[in-house]
Amino acid sequence: AGRPQRATLEVADAARLKASPSGYPALQATRRRLPCWSRLDEILDVLDRHRVVLIAGETGCGKSTQVPQYLLDSVPGVNLLVTQPRRIAAISLAERVAQERCEQVGGVVGYNIHMDKKMSKDTRCTFCTTGVFRRRLLGDPQLRGVTHVVIDEVHERELHSDYVLIVLKELMEERKDLRLVLMSATLQLDVFQDYFPGCATVHVPG
């Protein structure tokens, strides 16, 4: 399960190690100590086989920083949007993920919040606030060029996020190639499982 995707991920990992032999090993070791790593093969397999995936885990399990990287490193041609309920989280997560990849923010990993963004033509993983994502949906209802949408902290159930889920459910009927990843604390999982029938769930230990 997840073996071809893991092989692709390990090739990317080896390339970073070669490019940054002094700094990367410590970052790599930190990533592998996170609870998410213990579910790596299961997560990769589920992400590959299902259009809607719910990843449930407590704060600190690594889902917010690691799942976007698993997608970046295992899916050819990936272009993902990762929504966060708060501006500071969008910025800090983009900075952390870029650091773990020995890259600068605004390269492969960027962010887009109200009145501030760091992105480029190379950006394939954009952390944004739910409000910014809502405006993107209004201006670009088909989410052209986007392969995956990751809704983090989906259990917070604020106004923007409920609207976004309604629109995404409709969009996925039109765009059969679009993938959706919901990430949540272990609360109200049945609400999302009922709303997206066939949704696959991965539980990450705390």
Tally of domains within the chain? 1
Best CA proximity match to 171, nearest among 108, 98, 81: 81
Helix or strand run (H / E) with residue 171: helix 159-174
Distance CA 157, CA 90 (A): 17
The partner residues of 150 in beta bridges, in order of sequence, read 82, 181
Task: Determine the structural domain holding residue 30 and report its residue range.
Answer: 3-203
**pTM for this prediction:** 0.94
- Region 132-141 average pLDDT: 96
- By mean pLDDT, which of 57-61, 98-102, 188-192 is the weakest? 188-192
Can you tell me which residue has the tokens 């997608």? 71
Strand order across the beta sheet in which 125-129 lies = 116-118, 109-113, 125-129, 80-84, 148-151, 179-184, 52-56, 200-203
pLDDT tens-digit profile of 104-117? 999 999 999 999 99
Domain CATH code at residue 94: 3.40.50.300
Task: Kindly tell me if the per-residue pLDDT of 1 is higher than 60.
Answer: no
- The pLDDT of residue 32: 94
